[in-house]
Each structure stands twice: as structure tokens, then as C-alpha cells.
Amino acid sequence: MKKTVEYLNEIIDFQFNGNISIGLKHLDLITNSLFKLTQSLYDYKEQPNYHLRELEGKYFRFGLANHSIIKLIEGNQFELIDKSVLIPDIFSFKSLTRMQIESYLIMHYLFYDNVSDEEKVLRYDIYKIHALNKQLSFKINFETPNVLEQRKKIESELQLAIDNMKASSFYMSANEKERKSFLRPRYPKLVDSKELFKSSGLEKSGLDNMWQLYSNYAHSEYISDRQYNTTYNIKKSFSEDSSMIILINLILTSKLTEKIASIFRSAKETFETLTEKERTIINTWSDVNK
């Protein structure tokens, strides 16, 4: 109990005093926890359901992006006009955080949303069909044997996804217009991001607003120009931006860690082996705006 209070005090020190060092250490710690739980699926030889086949890859990529964000907050060291400088790259870590929010939303949509497994299978097939159709639409500049063989594999994977979807009750009960939209989906998701923010609970945390704000960095829009001038030329301080980025990724990572432990026995058992500090941090941030 004494140790738990100590860890909670660290969380408070980060949240209310802006202690960046503690925030970065906590994010690094629970990212490692995320990797442990993801690895447990392989170690325990779990056999994920069809619609969960991308889960391990998405979790690994999410954790990898966390480490990139940590390094960008710590700062890039380079030579600038014959001087060695160490500067946090706020534009890149904000763009990456927008990507992390979107990654969380698509994982919620495919794996964790409160719909039937049959509907999740349909979502996964449409998600795949959209991507494979798009990939096949790319122009081939050089028709080498390797390129043509790769194209055949994509076509085969596309047909399997189409056949699987056609066998679903959703497709069989759909009208002609809906069936066409299933076969040639305009978007990878059947549900727009606004609805996913609501159903995932991220809207309660205000992360939908941060997602919109950070689009200005991903698309290099004028707001990012204004904030460059303010941050680098006027305030010359990165602590406020860094604290917000760490906070967002602590919340997302903790929630993802809790969610994987809720559906896989191996992840649940591995979660119980985490240190008290890891569990305290994860439980604290995963509870935000439930």
C-alpha cells in the first residue's frame, strides 16, 4: 500500500506539476507492459478469432510509435550553424499522436466495440477489401515476374475476403445497393470517426478535439505555422506541449493494455505478473472517463 501511494504521488507530480521526466518514464514503463501482454499471445500459443488477426501487429506498431514519441520529446540532437543543439520536435510528436489516436479508434472498431463477433467479422472483411482494392488500383510500372506474382497473391486474398463476407448474414440480408458498397467500399470503416469517439469513450476525455487540432500538424496547415512561431520564437518552452502528448499516450496505452487483458487469458495472467508500479499506472490512466 505504501508503494502504491508513492506511485500515485508520481502520477500527481506529472499531471499537476508538469514533471516531464516522470511522465516519460511512466510512458516507457507501460509501453513495455503493452509489449509483454502482446508477446504473451505468442508464448501461450493463443489462436485469435478471425477478426482479431491484425491485433498483435497493431499493438506492436502502437508501442513502437510510443518509443518514437518519447525520443522526439527528449529532443533531437544535431548541428545547427556550427552549434550542437537539442530540440524537441513538437510537430512530429503531435503528428504521431494523431496517428496513435486513429490507431486506437480502428482497434476499438475492429476488436473492442460493443457489437457482435459476426459484425466484427464483416467490419474486418470490409477493412481488408477496401485496402486490397486500393492496392490493386496502383499502376504497375514494371511487370516483373515478382511483381505479377505479388499481384496474384493480393487478388487471391481479396477473393477470400469477398467470399467470407458473402457468406455472412449481413451480406445475405442486404439490398443490392448495400451489397455493392460492401464489395467496393469507399472507406475502410462502416462507422465514421465521430461515432467511434463516442462509443470508445475518447470523446469524454476531449481527445476528439486534440485529434482535430493535431491534424494541422499532419497536414502542415496554418495553425501549425502559428504555433511554430509561438513555441520556438516566443515562449521557447516545450513543457506544456510535451505534457499533453505524454498524457494522451498514457491514457491510450493504458486502455489498450486493459482491453487486451480483458479478452485473452494469456494477457490477463501476464497482467497479474506486472509490477505494482506498472499496474498502478495502467489502472489509473485506463480509468479516465470510463
- The predicted-structure confidence for 229-258, as pLDDT tens digits, reads as follows 666 655 556 788 899 999 999 999 999 999
pLDDT tens per residue, range 100-132: 999 999 999 999 999 999 999 999 999 999 999
Mean pLDDT to the nearest integer, 71-95? 84
**Segment 25-76, tens digit of pLDDT:** 999 999 999 999 999 999 999 999 999 999 999 999 999 999 999 999 998 7
Full DSSP string of 37-72: HHHHHHHTT----GGGTTHHHHHHHHHHHHHHHHHH
Provide the pLDDT for residue 241: 87
Residue 214 banded pLDDT, cuts 50, 70, 90: confident
pLDDT in tens, 4-17: 899 999 999 998 88
pLDDT the model gives residue 216? 80
What residues contact 164, with CB distance under 8 A and at least 6 apart?
A: 50, 121, 125
pLDDT single digits (tens) 149-182 = 889 999 999 999 999 999 999 999 999 999 999 9
pLDDT of residue 75: 87
pLDDT at 279 over 90: yes
The domain containing residue 6 runs over which residues?
2-286
Q: How many residues can be counted in the chain?
A: 290
pLDDT of residue 72: 94
CB 228 within 8 A of CB 115: no
Total domains in the fold of the chain? 1
Give the pLDDT band of residue 90 (cuts 50, 70, 90). Answer: confident
Distance, first Cα to last Cα, the chain: 24
